[in-house]
């Protein structure tokens, strides 16, 4: 019964994606709102974001809302910080979730990706004179706000969930964008510790309404330098289907191992992924988590498979390895992840830290 319902959900997902693909194929850019695909939580980063089926805490509000019903605490609070490209950009997450009933949960999440201190040189040269005192700074910041809800189904082990999200993007005083979208999800867990998940991001097609504000002098700079003057526009983000399957194995009372395989199915055109076509592109990634007494956890993952050309223009495959560790202190969980952005050279390492706190645990 549960598998049947999940199959029906996947069938509807494919139909929705096909319809959206046919309707908006000519008006949607690739990688729209891509900052919302980075992920949240150091646990997820350590497992190459392969956590759709196994996430059962506050971060499920971002990954798979239907997993929120597995939360055992009355209230959970989580925070994450990560710096990219030597601290040039910063990525942060804040989440709050609560059990509203024994079989339902609610969460609020926020992500921020920003580059601060960008020099504004549009007014550097005026009347042929260079004056560095006229150079100012601005920030380019992307925000995502999520309200998520999950409910257990009548079928044992099956739950459904969804998120409404508001998107706000801005670059100084030059441009702002507001958007809105909806995600839908399902999760099914068997008695033998198999977990299945399906998430449709941007199920209704998410929109961003962009508004630009440049002075006449700034527009002249665009014209003189041969750049196109941006105009107000509407950006659409097509649906994306995410699938996950996980299995937990208990070796002894103290040791266990969890493995999860996820696949991201994009519909916005050919991407540089492991499996690619003009219609859909498949991006698989795998993560494992070894646990000792559910206190100490070691993680590893692999993903982001891409084809790149080396200095001799020879095509080669690259991938992104990740490792992480977690410490569960009953009411406080601290996680750390280390990832190398796709070239296995240790040249672009990113450190991810996150902390989760349980407040007023149920039954305690």
Which CATH number characterizes residue 181's domain? 2.40.160.60
Enclosing domain of residue 114 = 2-303+320-361
Residue 363: its pLDDT value, please? 52
Q: Is residue 166 in a domain?
A: yes
Q: How far apart are CA 131 and CA 123, in angstroms?
A: 8
Q: Is residue 160 in a domain?
A: yes
Return the closest-CA partner of residue 77 out of 43, 39, 110, 102.
110
Q: Is residue 280 in a domain?
A: yes
Residue 276: its pLDDT value, please? 83
Residue 48: its pLDDT value, please? 95
Q: Is residue 341 in a domain?
A: yes
- How many folded domains does the chain comprise? 1
The residue length of the chain stands at 364
Low-confidence spans in the chain with pLDDT less than 50: 1-27, 342, 344, 346
Residue 273: its pLDDT value, please? 81
Q: Is residue 168 in a domain?
A: yes
Residue 179: its pLDDT value, please? 95
Residue 283: its pLDDT value, please? 92
Q: Is residue 308 in a domain?
A: no
* Residues 261-294 pLDDT 10s: 999 998 877 888 878 887 788 999 999 999 999 9
Residue 4: its pLDDT value, please? 43
Residue 29: its pLDDT value, please? 63
Q: Is residue 214 in a domain?
A: yes
Residue 7: its pLDDT value, please? 38
Q: Is residue 315 in a domain?
A: no
Residue 28: its pLDDT value, please? 55
């Amino acid at each position: 019964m549960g598998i049947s319902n999940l199959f029906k959900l996947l069938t509807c997902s494919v139909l929705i994606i096909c319809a959206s693909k046919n309707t908006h194929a000519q008006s949607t850019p690739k990688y729209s709102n891509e900052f919302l695909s980075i992920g949240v939580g150091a646990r997820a980063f350590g497992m190459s974001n392969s956590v759709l089926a196994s996430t059962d805490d506050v971060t499920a509000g971002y990954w798979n809302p239907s997993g929120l019903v597995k939360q055992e605490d009355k209230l959970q609070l989580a925070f994450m910080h990560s710096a990219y490209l030597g601290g040039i950009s910063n990525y942060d997450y804040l989440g709050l979730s609560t059990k509203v009933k024994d079989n339902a949960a609610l969460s609020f999440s926020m992500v921020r990706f920003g580059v601060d201190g960008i020099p504004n040189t549009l007014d550097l040269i005026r009347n042929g004179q260079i004056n560095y005192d006229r150079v100012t700074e601005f920030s380019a910041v992307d925000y995502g706000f999520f309200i998520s809800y999950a409910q257990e189904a009548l079928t044992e082990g099956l739950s459904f969930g969804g998120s409404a999200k508001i998107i706000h993007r801005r670059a100084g005083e030059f441009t702002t964008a507001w958007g809105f979208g909806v995600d839908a999800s399902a999760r099914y867990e068997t008695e033998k510790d198999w977990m299945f998940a399906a998430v449709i991001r941007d199920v209704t097609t998410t929109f961003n309404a962009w508004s630009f504000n440049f002075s006449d002098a700034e527009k002249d700079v665009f014209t003189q330098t041969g750049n196109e003057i941006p105009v107000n526009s509407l950006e659409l983000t097509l649906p994306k289907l995410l699938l996950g399957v996980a299995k937990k194995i208990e070796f002894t009372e103290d040791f266990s191992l969890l493995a999860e395989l996820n696949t991201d199915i994009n519909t916005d055109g050919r991407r540089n992924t492991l499996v690619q076509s003009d219609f859909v592109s498949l991006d698989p990634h795998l993560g494992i988590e070894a646990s000792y007494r559910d206190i100490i956890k070691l993680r590893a993952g692999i993903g982001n498979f891409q084809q790149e050309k080396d200095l001799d223009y020879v095509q080669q495959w690259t991938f992104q390895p990740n490792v992480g560790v977690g410490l569960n202190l009953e009411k406080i969980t601290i996680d750390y992840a280390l990832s190398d952005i796709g070239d296995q050279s240790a040249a672009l390492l990113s450190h991810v830290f996150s902390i989760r706190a349980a407040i007023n645990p149920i039954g305690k």
